[in-house]
A and B are shown apart, each in its own frame.
Chain A
Amino acid sequence: DAGVTQSPTHLIKTRGQQVTLRCSPKSGHDTVSWYQQALGQGPQFIFQYYEEEERQRGNFPDRFSGHQFPNYSSELNVNALLLGDSALYLCASSLVSVREETQYFGPGTRLLVL
């Protein structure tokens, strides 16, 4: 039973570029959440996807967008990259019917913006 997987593991971009990060949820899960974690900080919630729609969004600009596919996998897109977007991006999956929503995390994608 595969856990949450993310790709790529590392990425280097330059300011102004666009990036797409990918996430496959744990088998049987239908909800995907994305988090940004700056060095030495706790994760910050970006948004959550369920039934291919954005269900909740944190305090992030519209440069951050996402998508969920029918197979529940998800993408995070960031446009017009800024130096401050350098961080570890974490994907977490859960099952919406389980209200307590214990989330299972992937290993993350470390993004460096130069």
Chain B
Amino acid sequence: SQQGEEDPQALSIQEGENATMNCSYKTSINNLQWYRQNSGRGLVHLILIRSNEREKHSGRLRVTLDTSKKSSSLLITASRAADTASYFCATDADSNYQLIWGAGTKLIIKP
């Protein structure tokens, strides 16, 4: 079974616009990570946010975490065609070694 659920399942926006994706999870976590996957190939790590952090930035990425609501959001600003991919959240639960994943958001950036 999957821990996280991403919302929306698919998102199509114009190049230059901002894209926001949300992730909800079920159990307590040690950290939450966002990954990108192009064309069903390997996953690329984007950003990690710890359970005691509320917001984190990396370049055009902004991640927030609300542990009371068990949710996170990923904002990509000034989107580019190269951002077209599927985005997944994955949680690392306390005293556990496995990452548990959501089903992903498919992002399409239209030129």
Interface residues of chain A, those whose CB is within 8 Å of chain B, are 4, 33, 35, 37, 39-45, 48, 55-56, 58-59, 88, 90, 92, 99-108, 110
Stretch in contact with the other chain, from B35-43, B59-67, B70-78: B35-43
User: Which residues of B have CB within 8 Å of A44?
Assistant: 2, 101
Most chain A Cβ neighbours within 10 Å, of B31, B48, B98 = B98
> Within the complex, which residue of B33, B44, B99 is in contact with A45, where a contact is CB–CB below 8 Å?
B99
Question: Given A45-B98, A45-B100, is A100 in contact with B92 using a C-beta cutoff of 8 Å?
Answer: yes
User: Which residues of A have CB within 8 Å of B35?
Assistant: 105
Q: How many Å from the CB of B23 to the closest CB on chain A? A: 11
- Evaluate contact between A107 and B99: CB separation under 8 angstroms: no
Interface size class of B (residues with CB under 8 A): 20 to 34
- Evaluate contact between B97 and A56: CB separation under 8 angstroms: yes
Q: How many Å from the CB of A66 to the closest CB on chain B? A: 14
CB-nearest residue of chain B to A55? B97
User: Which residues of B have CB within 8 Å of A107?
Assistant: 41-42
- Evaluate contact between B98 and A48: CB separation under 8 angstroms: yes
A89, B97: Cα distance in complex, Å: 18
- Evaluate contact between B97 and A48: CB separation under 8 angstroms: yes
What are 18 pairs between A and B in contact, CB < 8 Å?
A33-B99, A37-B40, A41-B2, A41-B104, A42-B2, A42-B4, A42-B101, A43-B43, A55-B97, A56-B96, A88-B41, A101-B92, A101-B97, A102-B45, A102-B48, A103-B99, A105-B35, A108-B40
